Amino acid sequence: MDLLRSGGPVLVAILLVSLYAVYLFLERVFKLSRERVEADTLMTKVNAAVRERDLELALTACERHGGPIARVINAALLRLPYGRSAVEAAFQEASLQEEQRLTQGLRSLATIAQIAPLLGLLGTVTGMIVAFSEISQQGTGNPAALADGIGQALVTTAAGLIVAIPVLIGQNYLANRVDNILIEIDRRREELMANVVQVVAARREERRGETPREAISGAR
């Protein structure tokens, strides 16, 4: 309590901001930990279904798997009958939606990491104002009169840094996890599109009167 009193209202604001940062960090960690990122099994089923031209089976595999990658793949598969350009557009739109979902709260954490030292600096300035006000009223002969102002200046500066450093580390940790998920989405996107191109090429060969096996052997 003595520490809170010495920090003044600015320290209270820093503590409230820090509590909100802790809530955001834990909430984001919990949400990200529940997202299913491993997609090897999913892509095996989806690619096999695409090669068999069984769209319903591929969509069912995405729904059962869940997670950001499955949601993006599912959105693209729904547009598969409309051609490659439609699939690419669906991929882009779904990827942006997942990015917004995954990065929710990260900007707030970054903002807290920036304003916490500024709040500490504000406490330093107000503390020095209090100290100089005491000097102007009582002179420099009574060091105890300066204790409140100097204490507020030091405590708020330290509190701002104590809050900003771990919040910045936490924000970078979460951003790194999100980046890894988005990279995995892009990788699976390229994998599916390559498979779709092969299927489309095989279909064209069939329309020319060749089976896919004959077309492959002819290409060799």
The pLDDT tens digits for 165-218 are 999 999 999 999 999 999 999 998 888 888 887 877 777 776 676 544 544 344
Question: Average pLDDT of 67-74?
Answer: 92
pLDDT band of residue 220 (cuts 50, 70, 90) is very low
Q: Say how many domains are in the chain.
A: 1
pLDDT of 216: 39
pLDDT of 208: 72
Query: Residue 171's domain spans which residues?
Result: 2-219
What are the start-end ranges of the H helices in the chain?
2-34, 40-51, 55-65, 68-78, 84-102, 106-138, 147-207, 212-219
The 3-state secondary structure of 106-117 reads: HHHHHHHHHHHH
- The per-residue pLDDT of the chain, averaged, comes to 82
